[in-house]
Amino acid sequence: MGALPRRAVVLFLDDAASIAVDEIRMRWDPVMCGRIGGHITLVHDVVDHELALTRVAAVASSTAPFAIRLTDTAHWGESAFGVYLHVDDPTGGVMSLHKQLADLEEPRWARVSFRAHCTLVHSRTTAPTVAARAWAELDGFHAGWDVAIAAVDIVELDEATGWRTVERFALRHPDEVPGWHREPSESSSERCSAVRSTGERGDDR
């Protein structure tokens, strides 16, 4: 029996934020844009697929929808390691979800302190020279984009085509106000799908 495909747990951006983020991603990192839509990663590499399904379902059902804001650009030490947007998490929704799911994380990722972010330029699919030009343009940029978080997705990596949603779990807290729920966008990677990886691996941060 072969190794299981890699899975991750993510929060996809809603329509408005996804469109805005993908304008940047399509310019500087079209390959990763075609492999997965704009998102915030909660678990990078799930260690137990079955446990993840039951755990994410339970956590989502006890969590109310919430809002975050994408703010300032930053990079991981240097631009070649990746450029991203900081996440303002005023209600602590992202951090709460991460803490409840943290033990699903593969140990090599668990050693790194969690920092909620939305990647714009990924090191695996962007040449260092391109990343440097991207950072020269994006340095000091403040997005100020509000994002409604209404679901948690478990996604699976196909090396040839990118990531796909295995299952989506709506946030449905018992005290949720009727009518608040919105499905997150599924069109982000479709907007970028004309550009696909040609042998490049894409395990997004």
For the stretch 2-25, pLDDT in tens is 688 999 999 999 999 999 999 999
Residue 45 domain-assigned (yes or no): yes
What are the pLDDT digits (tens) for 55-113? 999 999 999 999 999 999 999 999 999 999 999 999 999 999 999 999 999 998 877 88
Residue 163 domain-assigned (yes or no): yes
Of residues 34, 87, 45, 65, the one with CA closest to residue 197: 34
Of residues 43, 27, 10, 186, the one with CA closest to residue 120: 27
Q: Give the pLDDT of residue 175.
A: 62
Residue 140 domain-assigned (yes or no): no
Residue 14 domain-assigned (yes or no): yes
What are the pLDDT digits (tens) for 145-177? 999 999 999 999 999 999 999 999 999 865 654
- Distance (Å, rounded) from C-alpha 79 to C-alpha 88? 21
CATH code of the domain covering residue 48 = 3.90.1140.10
What are the pLDDT digits (tens) for 28-58? 999 999 999 999 999 999 999 999 999 999 9
Residue 186 domain-assigned (yes or no): yes
Residue 196 domain-assigned (yes or no): no
Residue 110 domain-assigned (yes or no): yes
Q: Give the pLDDT of residue 110.
A: 79
What are the pLDDT digits (tens) for 114-134? 999 999 999 999 999 999 999
Residue 40 domain-assigned (yes or no): yes
What are the pLDDT digits (tens) for 106-116? 998 877 889 99
Range(s) of the domain holding residue 102: 7-69+95-116+148-191
Number of independent structural domains in the chain: 1
Q: Which pLDDT band, with edges at 50, 70 and 90, does 201 fall under?
A: very low
Q: Which pLDDT band, with edges at 50, 70 and 90, does 205 fall under?
A: low
CA distances in angstroms from 102 to 37, 47, 89, listed in the order given = 22, 11, 17
- Distance (Å, rounded) from C-alpha 133 to C-alpha 152? 33
